[in-house]
Amino acid sequence: MAAVIPAEERIASRLDPRAQLGSLWRHPILRAALKAALTVLAATTITFTLIRLLPGNPIDLRIEELTRDGSVSYESAREQVSALYAIGLDEPLPQQYATYLWNILHGDLGTSFLSRGVPVMGIILAVLPWTLFAVGTGLLLSFVVGIGLGLVAAYKRGSFFDQAVSTIGSIISSVPNYLIAILIVLVLGVQLRWVPITQMRGAFSPGIQPGFSLEFIGDVLFHAALPISVFFLTQIGHWILSMRNATLASLEDDHVLAARARGLSDRRITTAYVGRNAVLPLVTQLAISVGFIVGGAVIIEQIFVYQGVGQRLVRAVAQRDYPVMQGILLLVTISVVVANLVADLLYSRLDPRIGRAGDA
Amino acid sequence: MSTIAVIARRPVGLIGLIGVGSFVALAYLGPLVIPLTNTVDIANIYRTPSLAYPLGTDFQGRDVLNQIVYGGRDILSVAFLAAFFSTAVAVTFGSLAATLGGKLDVAILAITDVVLTVPHFIVLVVVAAIFRPEGFLVLALLLASLQWAGLLRQVRAQILSLKEREYVEAARSLDLGLFHIIFREMLPNMASYVAIHFIFAMTGTVYAQVGLIVLGLIPLSGANWGSMLYLAQSQGALYFSDSFWYIFSPILAISLFQLSLVALSAGLEDVFNPRLRAS
């Protein structure tokens, strides 16, 4: 542990603004919030750099395209492109960036290339919930089931169950998730015809009335079943193995031994003493996986023709609809950041050591 | 005992070693031994496996096994290069952050946190869609640019703990210099993290690289495992029951390569963790 710092030095470091910033960074909740803001800012910087600054960027290309045949003047081409991307092209660069940020803050992500005048925000908000629903359901299911299996595997260490679950878990988690999606279509859909893959396309059946009816919810689950299964299958191995290792480590803790010595029931030891401690570090991993799975969803949605944000991104790429592309990158990053923030806050609630160790 | 002997002691390490070795041989030596047969043969479209075509034929009657042999080299090379770049970045900046500390440490950590949070594959898709990365080096750099963050954190944490050890203190009191202390005293003690991460970085880059190819975002030069899947997907061959072997073969090749890498990394853990060896 750190050596005891003399009082004068501690006070001096409190007064130093730079040290203040450092200790802010070390405070878990503030750090989580700061990290979230920084990540969103970084994402906007990436998109701004990509579309505005780098050579061969889509803004310059578009202006050149519009002015090439001479029917549109350079000024009006610039004006059109400005509106398209919600960037003020006549302002100096730093100000362009500021305007860009300001517009994003107000929910203005520009308008689509292809569907003239349609705001990018609306396009994305129509598809994003479907992806978050499928990704979230698959992830939570795999987390709950994986943690259960991992806990049992650790208790039956070395048994056939342990070996089977650990081996299958590590094999499934090594295969890229989009390959599992292709395999499902190839084997279950086309060869065996067990799964009606063409009927399961889209987010829900055409003609069905969206609402809180049993029929609609059932239909939504039917259409999301394949993406959810893939997210479930490809994540579960990770949770089984992590939980198994965390449980094994936690079983050797002194407080578990002490609980045994006190004659507590096995069930109480498993849930309150072993399981709870083993699960804690996995909660933060839950957040990190969100970003990974949403990335994988791009190909998986394309393969199953599920109308989520991933499939929309592929369409925008094919149509070279850059405003939609950068909008998706931004909104997905924000979703992932929010998920991370929730996990960080949850973690500091679950683990009382974290919240208090403010300036440690 | 030599490293390879230790890896081969447990079945999982042996499987990994043989698997990765076979794929390297297949991808780099295969094309030297087996002649390329990519002539279109309309009479033999979508044949099932036979002696003449061990993995069947594709939509133009070309031998699938031949495409598998020729289709691995590019993917393996890019994965290896990208893993190398990402490991180099992680080790260099991770050790700098830990040894120099202060503002540099905070800045590096902040960037690392951001890179860990951003959804990698979506960034790659957007960048690839705008700039169409061509060539091994550009592709490897692009893939590596998001790969390094996890290892950087581990290297930093490890060095922070190594810093307090006596032998490092001894080296410091002998005034051996930062370079010597990092590269001669500390890094050899982190070989396990670095080697295992190198393998994970390879699996990560194979995942991202094949994913980008399947979406058609990387310009094709010759067939590879990913482009076979791209063609199958974009031409609708995925929904023909005849095309099973053409699609299944690259899936099998990629999955087995990934599995071999993971098995090899499990074997490596035994090398670096003698306590595991005893049990």
pLDDT score for B59? 72
CB nearest to B217's CB, from A292, A296, A317: A317
Domain that holds residue B259: 3-71+223-278
Taking the CA of residue B236 and the nearest CA in chain A, the distance in Å comes to 11
Q: Are B40 and B149 within one domain?
A: no
Return the bridge partners of A119, or none.
Answer: A111
* Chain A, window 144-173: residues with a beta carbon less than 8 angstroms from a chain B beta carbon: 170-171
| Burial group, residue A359, by CB count within 10 angstroms (0-12, 13-18, 19+) | exposed
φ/ψ of residue B239, rounded to 5: -100, 5
Most confidently modeled range among A32-46, A85-99, B10-24: B10-24
Q: Would you call B119 and A336 a contact, using CB atoms and an 8 Å cutoff?
A: yes
Report the chain A residue with the minimal C-alpha distance to residue B127.
Answer: A50
Q: Is residue B204 part of a domain?
A: no
Q: Are B83 and B177 within one domain?
A: yes
ipTM value, please give it: 0.86
Q: Are B119 and B230 within one domain?
A: no
What is the pLDDT confidence band of residue A23, given thresholds at 50, 70 and 90? low
Q: Which of B198, B233, B252 is the last residue of a domain?
A: B198
Q: Are B108 and B190 within one domain?
A: yes
Q: Is the pTM of this model over 0.80?
A: yes
Q: Is residue B101 part of a domain?
A: yes
Q: Is residue B205 part of a domain?
A: no
Tokens, residue A64: 């050149």
Q: Are B173 and B84 within one domain?
A: yes
Tokens, residue B26: 């297949």
Number of domains comprising chain B = 2
Q: Decide if B196 contacts B268 (C-beta within 8 A).
A: yes
In this predicted structure, the answer to whether residue B117 has a pLDDT above a threshold of 50 is yes
| Residues in chain A within 8 Å Cβ distance of B251 | 179, 182-183, 186
Give the closest residue to A310 by CA, choosing from A42, A48, A47, A130. A130
Q: Would you call A56 and B131 a contact, using CB atoms and an 8 Å cutoff?
A: yes
pLDDT, mean over chain B: 83
In this predicted structure, the answer to whether residue A323 has a pLDDT above a threshold of 80 is yes
Q: Would you call A190 and B238 a contact, using CB atoms and an 8 Å cutoff?
A: yes
Q: Would you call A325 and B129 a contact, using CB atoms and an 8 Å cutoff?
A: yes
**A167: helix, strand or coil:** helix
Q: Is residue B216 part of a domain?
A: no
Percent of chain B with pLDDT over 90: 22
In this predicted structure, the answer to whether residue A12 has a pLDDT above a threshold of 70 is no
Q: Which residues contact A87 (CB under 8 A, 6 or more apart)?
A: A48, A52, A59, A96, A99, A100, A103, A110
List of E strands, B143-259: none
In this predicted structure, the answer to whether residue B268 has a pLDDT above a threshold of 80 is yes
Q: Are B91 and B35 within one domain?
A: no
What would the DSSP string read from start to end of A36-48?
Answer: HHHHHHHHHHHHH
What is the pLDDT confidence band of residue B89, given thresholds at 50, 70 and 90? very high
Distance from first CA to last CA of chain B, Å, rounded? Answer: 17
Mean pLDDT is lowest, of A22-26, A120-124, A203-207, B134-138, for A22-26
What is the pLDDT confidence band of residue A357, given thresholds at 50, 70 and 90? very low
**A111: helix, strand or coil:** strand
Most confidently modeled range among A157-166, A338-347, B189-198, B255-264: B255-264
Q: Decide if A300 contacts A313 (C-beta within 8 A).
A: no
Q: Are B142 and B251 within one domain?
A: no
More confident residue, A22 or A228: A228
Q: Are B141 and B245 within one domain?
A: no
Q: Decide if B160 contacts B182 (C-beta within 8 A).
A: no
Q: Which residues contact A164 (CB under 8 A, 6 or more apart)?
A: none
**Exposure pattern of A114-141 as b/e (b: 16+ CB <10 Å)?**
eeeeebbbebbeebbebbbbbbbbbbeb
Tokens, residue A208: 């069905």
Q: Is residue B63 part of a domain?
A: yes
For range A317-343, the mean pLDDT: 85
More confident residue, A76 or B215: B215
pLDDT score for A197? 77
Q: Which of B182, B198, B214 is the last residue of a domain?
A: B198
Q: Are B84 and B194 within one domain?
A: yes
Q: Would you call B123 and A329 a contact, using CB atoms and an 8 Å cutoff?
A: yes
φ/ψ of residue A118, rounded to 5: -80, 125
CB nearest to A298's CB, from B125, B233, B262: B125
More confident residue, A206 or B194: B194
For range B125-149, the mean pLDDT: 87
pLDDT score for A15? 57
Q: Would you call A295 and B240 a contact, using CB atoms and an 8 Å cutoff?
A: no
In this predicted structure, the answer to whether residue B113 has a pLDDT above a threshold of 50 is yes
| Residues in chain A within 8 Å Cβ distance of B122 | 294-295, 298, 313, 328-329, 332-333
pLDDT 10s digits, A230-249: 999 988 988 998 899 888 88
For range B41-62, the mean pLDDT: 74
Q: Is residue B121 part of a domain?
A: yes
* Chain A, window 292-351: residues with a beta carbon less than 8 angstroms from a chain B beta carbon: 292, 294-296, 298-299, 302-303, 313-314, 317, 320, 322, 325-326, 328-329, 332-333, 336-337, 340
Q: Is A38 on the interface with B (CB under 8 A)?
A: yes
Give the closest residue to A34 by CA, choosing from A46, A44, A21. A21
pLDDT 10s digits, B213-267: 998 888 766 778 888 888 888 877 777 777 788 888 899 999 999 999 999 988 8
More confident residue, A153 or A291: A153
In this predicted structure, the answer to whether residue A4 has a pLDDT above a threshold of 90 is no
In this predicted structure, the answer to whether residue A120 has a pLDDT above a threshold of 80 is yes
Q: Which residues contact B255 (CB under 8 A, 6 or more apart)?
A: A174, A175, A176, A179
Q: Is residue B242 part of a domain?
A: yes
pLDDT, mean over chain A: 80
In this predicted structure, the answer to whether residue A272 has a pLDDT above a threshold of 60 is yes
What is the pLDDT confidence band of residue B279, given thresholds at 50, 70 and 90? very low
Q: Are B95 and B148 within one domain?
A: yes
pLDDT score for A354? 58
Q: Would you call A190 and B244 a contact, using CB atoms and an 8 Å cutoff?
A: yes
pLDDT 10s digits, B189-220: 778 778 888 999 999 999 999 999 998 888 76
Q: How far apart are CA B200 and CA B151, in angstroms?
A: 10
Q: Are B23 and B47 within one domain?
A: yes
In this predicted structure, the answer to whether residue A360 has a pLDDT above a threshold of 50 is no
Q: Which of B163, B198, B233 is the last residue of a domain?
A: B198
In this predicted structure, the answer to whether residue A2 has a pLDDT above a threshold of 50 is no
pLDDT 10s digits, B6-39: 777 778 888 888 999 999 998 888 888 888 777 7
Q: Look at chain A and count its residues.
A: 360
Q: Is residue B150 part of a domain?
A: yes
Q: How far apart are CA B226 and CA A306, in angstroms?
A: 22
Give the closest residue to B16 by CA, choosing from B249, B210, B271. B271
pLDDT score for A156? 85
Q: Would you call A35 and B113 a contact, using CB atoms and an 8 Å cutoff?
A: yes
